[in-house]
Chain A
Amino acid sequence: MVDIAERAPRERGSLLTNPLARSIFIQATLLVLVIGAGWYFYENARANLAAQRIATGLGFWNNTAGFGISQTLIPYSETSTYGRAFVVGLLNTLLVAGLGIVFATALGFLVGVARLSKNWLIAKVAEVYVEVIRNLPLLFQILFWYLAVLSTLPSPRQSFSFFGLAFVNNRGLVVPEPIFNEGSGAVGIAFLAGLALAVIVRYWARARQMRTGQIYPAGRTALALIFGLPLLVYLVLGAPIRFDLPELKGLNFSTGLRIIPEFIALLLALSTYTAAFIAEIVRAGILAVNKGQTEAAYSLGLPPGLTLRLVVVPQALRVIIPPLTSQYLNLTKNSSLAVAIGYPDFFALFAGTTLNQTGQAIEIIALTMAVYLAISLITSGLMNFYNRRVALVER
């Protein structure tokens, strides 16, 4: 570039024929046009909204929302603000999307591997699952889980009881609610310490295996550390975490943690639907690994399970991760279908109720777009980071 800039004026002498000047001019004109168009649309919308006396701006943010929400992860009441409702909705979306991604991935990997099984029955069951689930509309599946399953459940007074600990009825699943008393923090710290120790043990075991060839049961030790340590602390401190059992009072269960059926239905539908797509991605990824790799592993004496885990899957991941990212993004965006069954997700609360109560379509739609864009960009950013790490392992 510098080269051209120094040489061009000498050769041509005219600004008009100078490539650098021309490209700067074109870029600048384009920029001005884009900004101008943006400004025109903004100004036009603002002026017309003002002329029609439609309120503008984010002044509503701190106003009282005045509507109830059936599932809130943070304290919320009818007297809270629209801003708080925004956060409640966002958390509800993140909850269902996050858990959905975990379940869909686990189920998808299982089904994907099962489709390649040598066992005819397992392979066929997996195939039927994939073909049925991914070829039916998601909205249909959400409504199926919600209405077909919900209508067969009994009313709260006739709940199915699981040994008096948990109850299922048409208001959802009621489970014992943990009450955190003094000392609960220590149990949490023990859990984290167990987690850290497990990681250290794993590295130590690997190093030792490299050195001596001896295999240490790192998995079992890790399990013992992660769950045993907090349990020990829990018992030593005299059971600081208590569980409140569900109790029927009046029309509904007044104590216990209630998981609403809308959440269960949405989570089931999203995870099973996305799992069918993930299964195909996993199958494709595994098939993409050269058969020679498996044969080589077998000839070295590795059993099929270890071959899959140590040889095939690490190479398959390179193929799996990019399309898997799209499935995660799809799942997150599909969670906005929640509005059909009344799950209070971000879209339903913010682009639905809040938009209607305040009437400020432009601000709210813009914010909604920004939020989904941010969630998607963060998800794909994390996945790309992971993808690069997996790619480096390649030899």
Chain B
Amino acid sequence: MKRFASMLALGLVVCAQSASGQTLKAVTDRGMLNCGANGTLAGFGLPDAQGKWTGLDVDVCRAVAAAIFNDANKVKFVPLSAKDRFTALQSGEVDVLVRNTTWTSSRDTSLGLNFTGVDYYDGQGFMVRKALKVNSALELGDASVCVQQGTTTELNLADFFHAHNMKLKTVTFATANEAVKAYDAGRCDAYTTDASGLYAERLRLANSNDHIVLPEIISKEPLGPAVRHGDDQWFDVVKWTLFALINAEDLGITKGNVDEMMKSPSPEIRRVLGLEGNSGESLGLTNDWVVRIVKAVGNYGEMFENDVGANSPLKIERGLNKLWSKGGLQYAPPIR
């Protein structure tokens, strides 16, 4: 109902806060960043037993808050379903949407959003029961597949089956929770979502060892933060926060050694840390913004390992998300 109210609000008073500079000012005045997050996906957005939000997407929001307030805790996380997330951003309920959202042309151009980059390169996969003795997604003809409503997954699934001339029974649920529960109850032969999500959801199944993830990746799913269209300054702040995280890893600046690095003679490191130039002030922040970010959440690599990689229960390989210099796709324009 709250979401419905925000849709109505969108219809009646459509926020005029899209003009450049308005969002940063609104966030600063409020003293709090409103961040649209997942809420149920381990590794990306999930409150833990103590109510502390954890995950890669969530940490991106913390980084933005750290850059603005020098305090990573000044974030209010708003859990959103896949179906409602864009409306929440459009109507101004959240300032930034970081909810494992795939960057596509239609979302970028017709929903009034701008994607600021990619914090995780993903792809869609399938999970099935081992007992089914299926080894490839191409053997899923006539299968019932559980899927979450309002996702690119829903569309890729239809495309994939159509392209391979297979018949498909889609069973669509409003949330991932319900879709996984129905799959676990045996309603569907397969559950499909982004591969990272499959590993996370598998941990929650009654008997996770009875399920396997099929090898096929059927789509490109670049996941990233999105902001409202029209406020270029705010767009820059979120975009460069992500770039700062990647640049910090590139230069070897970590949560542990950032104070040490301040003494580095390297002009590149000095520029990134705000000792030279005025990268922060041009963004509307302070020049030590990268120092604040790295002190709060670490660099991109540290975030990755803590939230989804080796130090997390998910243990996902970095794969495509390695730095460009190590054979991956993560690459950020220089700060200068």
- Residues of A in contact with B (beta carbons under 8 Å apart): 41, 44-45, 48-49, 51-55, 66-70, 77-79, 147, 150-151, 153, 155, 170-171, 249-252, 254, 260-262, 339-342, 344, 348, 352-353, 355-359, 361-362, 365
Question: What are 15 pairs between A and B in contact, CB < 8 Å?
Answer: A48-B18, A54-B112, A67-B170, A68-B154, A68-B157, A68-B168, A147-B181, A170-B186, A250-B141, A344-B172, A348-B149, A353-B172, A356-B82, A357-B150, A359-B112
Whether A342 and B182, one on each chain, are in contact in the complex, defined by CB atoms closer than 8 angstroms, is yes
In the bound complex, CA of A332 to CA of B150 (Å): 24
Pair B229/A70 contact, Cβ less than 8 Å: no
Interface positions of B from 141 to 181, Cβ below 8 Å from A: 141-144, 146, 149-150, 154-155, 157-159, 161-162, 168-174, 178-179, 181
B112 and A49 contacting across the interface, CB-CB below 8 Å: yes
Please tell me if the beta carbons of A341 and B178 are within 8 angstroms of each other in the complex. yes
B7 interfacial contact with A, CB 8 Å = yes
Nearest B residue (CB) for A170: B186
Q: Which 4 A-B pairs have the closest CB atoms?
A: A356-B150, A68-B170, A48-B14, A78-B158
When distances are taken between beta carbons in the complex, the residues of chain A under 8 Å from B149 are 339, 348, 352-353, 356
A353 and B170 CA atoms in complex are apart in Å by 13
Interface residues of B in 12-55 (CB under 8 A from A): 12-16, 18
* Contact call B14/A252, Cβ cutoff below 8 A: no
Alpha-carbon gap, A204 to B38, bound state (A): 69
Closest partner residue, chain A, to B109 (CB atom): A53
Contact in complex: B174, A365 (CB < 8 Å)? no
A171:B187 contact, CB within 8 angstroms:
yes
Nearest CB in chain B to that of A70: its residue: B171
Q: Are B90 and A53 touching (Cβ within 8 A)?
A: no
Among A70, A79, A342: residue with most chain B CB under 10 A: A342
The closest CB in chain B to the CB of A49 belongs to B14
Residues A362 and B162 in contact, CB atoms below 8 Å apart: no
- Which residues does chain B contribute within 8 Å of A52, judged by CB atoms? 14, 18, 90, 112, 228-230
**Residues on the B chain within 8 Å of A352, using CB:** 83, 149-150, 174
- Across-interface contacts of A344 in B (CB, < 8 A): 172
In the complex, A69→B137 CA distance in Å? 20
- Classify chain B's interface size: 35 or more
Check A171 against B14 for contact (C-beta < 8 Å). Answer: no
Contacts of B12 in A (CB 8 A): 41, 44-45
Question: Is the Cβ of A252 less than 8 Å from the Cβ of B230?
Answer: no
Q: How far is the CB of A371 from chain B (nearest CB, A)?
A: 16
Are B142 and A249 neighbours in the complex by a CB distance under 8 Å? yes
Contact A353 B154 (CB under 8 A): yes
Q: Tell which of B7, B86, B143 touches A365, judged by Cβ atoms closer than 8 Å.
A: B7
Tell whether, in the assembled complex, residue B11 and residue A170 are in contact, meaning their CB atoms are under 8 Å apart.
no
Within 8 A of A (CB), among B35-86: 82-84, 86
Q: A48-B16, A52-B229, A54-B110 are in contact. Are A147 and B185 (CB under 8 A)?
A: yes
Instruction: Determine if B178 and A70 form an interchain contact, defined as CB atoms under 8 angstroms apart.
Output: no
Q: Is B155 a contact partner of A67 (Cβ separation < 8 A)? A: yes
* B143→A348 contact, CB < 8 A: no
The interface bits of chain B over 99-132 (1 if a CB of A lies within 8 angstroms of the residue's CB, else 0) are: 0000000010111100000000000000000001
Q: Which residues of B contact A353 (CB under 8 A)?
A: 83, 149-150, 154, 172
Contact among B83, B161, B168 for A355, CB-based, below 8 A = B83
- Name which residue of chain B comes closest to A249, CB basis: B142
Of all chain A residues, which has the CB nearest B4? Answer: A365
State the CA gap A125–B247 with chains docked (Å).
72
Say yes or no: A251 contacts B142, CB within 8 Å. Answer: yes
Q: Does B189 touch A at the CB level, under 8 Å?
A: yes
Q: Does B87 contact A (CB under 8 A)?
A: yes
Measured between C-beta atoms, what is the minimum distance from B149 to chain A in Å? Answer: 5
Q: In the complex, are the beta carbons of B178 and A54 less than 8 A apart?
A: no
With A254-B142, A342-B178, A359-B112 as given contacts, are A44 and B14 in contact (CB-CB < 8 Å)? yes
B10 within 8 A of A: yes
Which of A45, A67, A147, A155 has the largest number of chain B CB atoms within 10 A? A67
Take A44-B13, A45-B14, A361-B7 as given contacts and tell me if A342 and B158 are in contact as well, using a CB distance cutoff of 8 Å. no
Nearest B residue to A366, CB-CB: B11
**CA of A355 to CA of B10 in the docked complex: distance in angstroms?**
14
In the complex, what residues of A have CB within 8 A of residue B16's CB?
48, 51
Q: How far is the CB of B184 from chain A (nearest CB, A)?
A: 8
Contacts of B15 in A (CB 8 A): 48
B174-225 CB contacts (< 8 Å) to partner A: 174, 178-179, 181-182, 185-187, 189
